[in-house]
Structure 1
């Protein structure tokens, strides 16, 4: 593995772990909303709603740092996929697809959900409710955001697994090449030693 490849891998793994840390911090809220079955679920929804409003109201610097970290991960993928080897195409290509899926879920569900929760307008945009029309209510909207966080976390774990698989495959390949070189060197040495004995 070249130094450029190692640095590019660091540019991928760093942001991925960073995002997993953010999602882990949100997991206590998400767990209670998605899987806990309390008799009084309202306090959990209220806490999640308050948390999301606080996140959305954070200074612009926070979202800029987040987007810079996303771009850093993409830069790592572009660096590794520049003049790719077969292993790069398989592992890094699949990792990039997962990473882009995570970004798509972030943009489509999480950001949109944060805006809806902050505005407090669930279902129909003007707040009215029509008969025979199903709208996504408050609890379902909050569940969608929590489920999106879980999906992004699973996708990012997949990126880490693929990067670890690539590292293992490269180490295995290097060990096999070194073993083949050793065997061929021993054969050359034995042939040259046999030639000297005949002389």
Structure 2
């Protein structure tokens, strides 16, 4: 694969990753108060704010979710472009980045999308009282909102990991190019010195 295609693939990965991080950063004020604010009498207000925020996002026009899914597909296309005819040198970085990216997509599908549906429906636990002796394995409103907020934080850390690996790959390639250029210069100097001695 050419160097241009490799750079374009990197761009297709970094762009969507930064886009997702921007979305998560805009949600961080809501998530922070739910996860790390010390319990006080007015803490329920933070849960209500996050709940209203999630309902508002879930009720957004379909074009919003379509744009988000197009951006996700763009990131996957970038990985496929880089992994096609990949060299052993970038297999570690791109392979690990792809694993993190897929893990992020799984967190999004299993926790965040499910959180949107649960909060919008307002069904946090059993709708009827459980018979005596049965264990309630449903989580309540506050725990559901905490899981949603924690999923956003986990997803942000995973995406930062993708960026770190892509930056590490860039650094490793530049270092390799510098070493090759240095060896070539030394080899040319040795050949020139050998010709002078003759």
What TM-score bracket applies, with the shorter chain setting the length? over 0.9
Q: 1:75 aligns with which of 71, 74, 77?
A: 77
Shift of 1:166: 0.2
Partner of residue 32, structure 2: 31
Q: How many residues align?
A: 193
Q: 1:91 aligns with which of 90, 93, 110?
A: 93
Shift of 1:20: 0.2
Partner of residue 128, structure 2: 128
Stretches (4+) displaced over 2 A: none
C-alpha separation in 2, matches of 1:128 and 1:54: 27
Structure 2, unmatched stretches of 5+, are none
Deviations 1:169-191 (A, max 9, x none): 00000000000000000000000
C-alpha separation in 2, matches of 1:50 and 1:128: 25
Partner of residue 167, structure 1: 170
SS in 2 for 1:37: coil
Shift of 1:38: 4.2
Partner of residue 185, structure 1: 188
- Name the Cα RMSD after superposition: 1.0
Structure 1, unmatched stretches of 5+, are none
Partner of residue 104, structure 1: 106
Partner of residue 16, structure 1: 17
Q: TM-score, structure 2 length as denominator?
A: 0.95
Q: TM-score, structure 1 length as denominator?
A: 0.95
SS in 2 for 1:84: coil
C-alpha separation in 2, matches of 1:170 and 1:133: 54
